[in-house]
Amino acid sequence: MPRPVILTVDDDPGVSRAVARDLRREYGEHHRIVRADSGDAALEALREIALRGEQVAVILADQRMPRMSGVEFLERAMDLFPRARRVLLTAYADTEAAITAINVVDLDHYLLKPWDPPEEKLYPVVDQLLEAWRRSPDRPSTDTRIVGHRWSARSYELRDLLARNQVPFRFHLADDPEGARLLEAAGCGTERLPVVITGEGRALVEPSDAEVAEQVGLSTHATAELYDLAVVGGGPGGLGAAVYGGSEGLRTVLVESLATGGQAGTSSRIENYLGFPDGVSGSQLTDRARRQAVKFGVEVLTTRTVTGLGVRGGVRILTFDDGSEIAAHAVVLATGVSYRTLDDVPGLTAYAGEGVFYGAATTEAPSCADETVYVVGGANSAGQAAMNFSRYASRVVMLVRGESLTSSMSHYLIEQIEAVGHIEVRTCTEVVAAEGEGHLEKLTLRDRATGEEERVDAQWLFVFIGARPRTDWLDGTVERDDRGFVLTGPDLPVPSSGAGSSEGREPLHLETSLPGVFAVGDVRGGSVKRVASAVGEGAMAVSLVHRWLENR
């Protein structure tokens, strides 16, 4: 195996050489020391390291560099090596830079120059960071390859699965030379695609999500039969419950059907979350939360779909789609919501994953370069997606059924959209038809005020309309409102058919009609659809779980 990399970047040649010399003297035997004199040069070095499948353990970056500050560089470096430990260097105390770095790049250490003697001021810091990195190293960035067709719904689903689980991969078109070479080497033809090729050289032909997850090292099977707390759903609410459950000593398992983060995890930028004045991407925020949960001993299962919830004796039983079960003393439901589909639009259903995407589909953004992207919806999720796609597309058209954005979108986001010249907002507009050969090629748009229709060229349509709770599997188990959202606490009908009547008490605030089962986040009826409120409910649910466990 190649030696893990320690990278240092500083625009002062003398300081850069001194840092590299000190690091090489102490760590050169077991690590490769890479030195760069600018943020751009360091990013290029990181890209080359990633292409070679090597790992980066620690990054030390000077804050006061021209063209790209240390914080800006570290934020971009996180996309390439999210688990590398990060150190910010400065020649004097810079409180503002330190706070920014902690908020934006999850800084591991802040180091003042000079650090003479290094034996006292530099090496102990690096030793500690290397030890932390060894406990959770990066996966080699070139291990997993997907070979498929450009307009393939299943190829997109696999790319989305790996990207949202922070698994580096490469996608190759089957008719490109490299894709053809990989298929030939794996002994596969083009008749059955996509093909996933693992780092060990195993070819998975048309694999299921669970097969891919297991091969790339994600946990898919529970290690125990009984837990103190089972959390169903890995969005902000579920992650909040898992972190607090694990930190308070509960044996906790978190079950997620696709990837931790939920809808929030696909957001390109969350700018109104407390403590992040410069914003944070949904993937960064939820990846930190997942790592935090694992640090507290939480077991995280991915690509596992829960299909049933029941009671057996004194425990709650979760049943998976393969018929297997786990038991828990308490359960938190945090399954969130899914975007509503445009099933009533003629022709549109056929292009799901083939030009039509429900949600941000962040893996597709770079493929939209210099093209026109259509975004359906007028709430924050649609606005954040439009801002993200505007970084790549030559034109972004927002299709909004209402008369304006003001009733459904945050003010700060409206101002950002108005400041981007190539984002066009078309109000009172809806999609009424779609057509194409093998993938989306045309849309028919209708002006809801005048009834006039317009047929436009379109290869990219991203839909963010409404929210449908993921609660069909709870039918007959817990009480829900007429839209399918789970009722809890005081919102339960009186007399309650569950918690109140069966135990002679009123249900706890976030407790459902089934005693010992709680609901948090978007899936809960009457909840505030914001990341911060979901995290708060997750934390509150754990305190209520303790009350439930103590008084049962």
Q: Is the pLDDT of residue 502 over 60?
A: no
At residue 93, the pLDDT reads 61
Give, for 172, the enclosing helix (H) or strand (E): strand 169-173
Q: Is 426 exposed, middle or buried (0-12, 13-18, 19+ CB in 10 A)?
A: middle
Q: In this structure, what DSSP letter does residue 140 have? A: P
Q: What is the C-alpha separation between 406 and 429, in angstroms, rounded?
A: 16
Identify the residue with better confidence: 496 or 80: 80
What pLDDT, in 10s, does the model give residues 436-494? 999 999 999 999 999 999 999 999 999 999 778 999 999 999 999 999 999 999 999 86
Name which of 138-152, 220-234, 481-495, 522-536 the model is least confident about.
138-152
pLDDT at res. 359? 82
CATH of 5-135, one of 3.40.50.150, 3.40.309.10, 3.40.50.2300, 1.10.8.100: 3.40.50.2300
According to CATH, where is 3.40.30.10 located in the chain? Answer: 144-215
pLDDT tens by residue, 234-244: 999 999 999 99
10 Å Cβ neighbour count for 250? 23
The pLDDT assigned to 77 comes to 87
What local confidence, expressed as pLDDT, does residue 500 receive?
42
CATH architecture type of domain 144-215: 3-Layer(aba) Sandwich (3.40)
Question: Which of 234, 252, 270 is CA-nearest to residue 104?
Answer: 270
Task: Give the CATH H-level superfamily of domain 226-338+468-551.
Answer: FAD/NAD(P)-binding domain (3.50.50.60)
The two tokens of residue 428 are: 């009172």
Residue 184: pLDDT band (50, 70, 90) is: confident
Cα separation, 269 vs 250, in Å, equals 32
pLDDT bin (cut points 50, 70, 90) of residue 101 is low
User: Can you give the pLDDT at residue 100?
Assistant: 66
Instruction: Specify the residue for token string 């359960």.
Output: 331
CA distance 536 to 552: 24
- CATH superfamily label, 349-463: FAD/NAD(P)-binding domain (3.50.50.60)
Return the higher-pLDDT residue of 69 and 518: 518
Q: How buried is 60 (Cβ within 10 angstroms: 0-12 exposed, 13-18 middle, 19+ buried)?
A: buried
Question: Per-residue pLDDT tens for 285-307?
Answer: 888 899 999 999 999 999 999 99
The per-residue pLDDT for 225 is 93
Q: Under 8 Å CB-to-CB from 103, ≥6 apart: which residues?
A: 275, 276, 277, 278, 280
pLDDT value of position 167? 86
> What integer pLDDT is reported at residue 147 of this predicted model?
94
Average pLDDT along the chain: 89
Dihedral-angle region of residue 175 (phi above 0 means left; psi in -120 to 50 means alpha; beta otherwise):
alpha
| CATH 3.50.50.60 intervals, the chain | 226-338+468-551, 349-463
DSSP-based three-state secondary structure for 517: strand
Instruction: Give percent of the chain above pLDDT 70.
Output: 93
Q: pTM above the 0.85 mark?
A: no
Task: Calculate mean pLDDT across residues 380-388.
Answer: 92
| pLDDT cut 90: percent of the chain above it | 61
Mean pLDDT, residues 85-91 taken together? 85
Q: Which residue has the tokens 């045309």?
A: 442
- According to the model, what pLDDT value does residue 404 have? 94
Tokens representing 5?
């990399």
Residues 329, 316 contacting (CB under 8 angstroms): yes
Separation between Cα atoms, residue 531 and residue 265, nearest integer Å: 10
Residues of the chain with CATH 3.40.50.2300: 5-135
